[in-house]
C-alpha cells in the first residue's frame, strides 16, 4: 500500500531521513516509535505531501506519490497531481485543528463536499455514520470550543475518515490529552484496527498501546529504521543496543 524507496529528506545540511526503505502492506497497522527528533513526524509529513523529499520515490498503491509519469520518465509531481493523490491519505495530529467556526458535523462534511464533490446529503450521511462510530453523534451540532480535547480528537478522526483515505496516519494523537480521556481516543483507533481493514501508520509514545494493537513496530533512530519487528519481537526481545536503551529509558519514565 505504501512504499518508501531510498527516500532522503534534509533541511539545509541536516539529513532528517536517510535512505529510507519502508513498506506498509494493505490493512497493516504499523507503529513508529523512537526518540524525539528521529524523523518520525517527517516520515508522516512526506507521506501526506506536506514536505517535499530530496531523493527517492514514495509509492501509494503502486502509484508514485511524489512523482508522475511523463514521457516514459518519472518527474516531480505537479500541484494538481499531488492534490489528487493526497486524498488517499488521511492524517491526525497531536493538535486537532478543527475548523473553529464549524460544528462537529460541518467539520466532517467540509472535505467531502469541497474536495470530493459529494452532495450535502451524501456528505451528511457519511459524516453522521462516522461521528456515530467515534461516539460523537450526540455532539454533532457543537462547535469545537464546547468539546473536550478527547472529544475534539475523536471528531478530527471522523473528519479524516470522511475522506475515505486508503491510509490513515496518526501522529501522537494522545499527547496533548488529559490522561483520563486518552482511552476514549485509543479505543477509537483500536476499533479501526479490529473492525475496519484500514492501513495505518501511528507515531506514538504509548508503548503499551503500540504493543497491543500493532502488526509491526518500527524503532526510528536518526532518520532510519534502526530495528523493526512484531510487537513481541521488538518489545520482548530487542536486538539492537539503541532499541534496548530507548525502551529502558521510556520504561523508567512511566
Ligand atoms: N521545518 C523544519 N525545518 C528544519 N528542521 C526541521 C523541520 N522540521 C523538522 N526538523 C528537524 O528534523 C528532525 C526530525 O524532526 P521530526 O520528524 O519532527 O522528529 P520526531 O517526530 O521524531 O520528533 C529534527 O531534528 C527537527 O528539528
Ligand atoms: Mg514528531
Which pLDDT value is given to residue 3? Answer: 96
Q: Which atom of ligand 1 is nearest to the CA of 34?
A: 22
How close is the Cα of 26 to the center of ligand 2, in Å? Answer: 24
Q: What is the mean pLDDT of residues 73-86?
A: 86
Asked if residue 161 lies in contact with residue 132, where contact means CB atoms within 8 angstroms, the answer is no
Please state the rounded mean pLDDT for residues 6-16: 94
Q: Which atom of ligand 1 is nearest to the CA of 43?
A: 17
- Mean pLDDT of all residues in 117-123: 97
Query: pLDDT (tens digit, 9 = 90+) per residue, 188-206?
Result: 999 999 888 899 999 999 9
Ligand nearest to the CA of 221: 1
Rounded percentage of the chain residues whose pLDDT exceeds 70: 99
Ligand 1 pocket: which of 36, 42, 224 to mutate (most atoms <8 Å of CB)? 42
For residue 139 and ligand 1, the question of a CB distance below 6 A is answered with no
How would residue 132 be classed by pLDDT, with cut points 50, 70 and 90?
Answer: very high
Per the prediction, the chain carries an average pLDDT of: 93
**For residue 71, what pLDDT is reported?**
84
Q: Which ligand has an atom closest to residue 37 CA?
A: 1
Region 223-245: mean pLDDT is 96
pLDDT category at 84 given cuts 50, 70, 90 is confident
Cα 188 from Cα 175, distance rounded (Å) = 15
Of all protein residues, the one whose alpha carbon is nearest to atom 2 of ligand 1 is 11
pLDDT of 253 above 80: no
Give the residue-averaged pLDDT of 5-19. Answer: 94
Cα separation, 246 vs 251, whole angstroms: 9
Ligand positioned closest to the Cα atom of 39: 1
- Nearest-atom number in ligand 1 for the CA of 39 is 17
Q: Is 215 exposed, middle or buried (0-12, 13-18, 19+ CB in 10 A)?
A: middle
DSSP at 77 = P
pLDDT tens column, 133-171: 999 999 999 999 999 999 999 999 999 999 999 999 999
Fold of 2-88+166-253: Rossmann fold (3.40.50)
Residue 252 pLDDT > 80, yes or no?
no
What residue spans define the domains of the chain?
Answer: 2-88+166-253, 98-164
Spatial contact of 223 and 38, defined as CB atoms under 8 Å apart: yes
pLDDT in tens, 45-61: 999 988 989 999 999 99
Q: Is the pLDDT of residue 79 over 90?
A: no
In angstroms, what is the span from residue 43 Cα to ligand 2's centroid? 9
pLDDT value at 186 more than 90: yes
- Ligand 2 centroid, distance to 44 Cα (angstroms): 9
Do 202 and 210 meet the contact criterion of CB atoms below 8 Å apart? yes
Residue 151 DSSP label: H
Please report which confidence band the pLDDT of residue 251 belongs to, taking 50, 70 and 90 as the band edges.
Answer: confident
Amino acid at each position: 500500500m505504501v512504499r518508501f524507496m531510498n527516500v532522503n529528506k534534509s533541511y539545509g545540511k541536516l539529513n532528517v531521513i536517510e535512505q529510507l526503505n519502508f513498506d506498509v502492506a494493505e490493512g497493516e497497522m504499523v507503529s513508529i516509535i523512537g526518540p524525539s527528533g528521529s524523523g518520525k513526524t517527517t516520515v508522516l509529513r512526506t507521506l501526506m505531501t506536506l514536505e517535499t523529499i530530496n531523493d527517492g520515490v514514495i509509492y501509494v498503491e503502486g502509484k508514485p506519490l511524489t512523482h508522475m509519469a511523463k514521457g516514459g520518465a518519472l518527474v516531480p509531481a505537479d500541484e494538481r497531481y499531488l492534490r489528487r493523490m493526497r486524498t488517499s491519505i488521511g492524517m491526525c495530529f497531536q493538535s486537532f485543528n478543527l475548523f473553529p467556526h464549524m460544528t462537529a458535523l460541518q467539520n466532517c462534511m467540509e472535505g467531502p463536499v469541497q474536495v470530493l464533490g459529494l452532495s450535502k446529503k451524501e456528505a451528511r450521511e457519511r459524516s453522521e455514520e462516522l461521528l456515530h462510530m467515534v461516539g460523537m453523534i450526540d455532539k454533532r451540532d457543537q462547535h469545537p470550543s464546547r468539546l473536550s480535547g478527547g472529544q475534539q480528537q475523536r471528531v478530527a478522526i471522523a473528519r479524516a475518515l470522511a475522506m475515505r483515505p486508503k491510509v490513515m496516519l496518526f501522529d501522537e494523537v494522545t499527547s496533548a490529552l488529559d490522561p483520563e480521556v486518552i482511552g476514549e481516543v485509543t479505543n477509537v483507533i483500536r476499533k479501526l484496527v479490529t473492525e475496519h481493514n484500514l492501513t495505518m501508520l501511528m507515531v506514538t509514545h504509548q508503548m503499551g498501546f503500540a504493543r497491543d494493537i500493532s502488526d509491526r513496530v518500527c524503532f526510528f533512530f536518526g532518520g532510519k529504521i534502526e530495528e523493526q519487528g512484531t510487537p513481541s519481537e521488538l518489545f520482548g526481545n530487542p536486538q539492537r543496543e539503541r532499541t534496548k536503551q530507548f525502551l529502558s529509558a521510556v520504561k523508567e519514565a512511566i
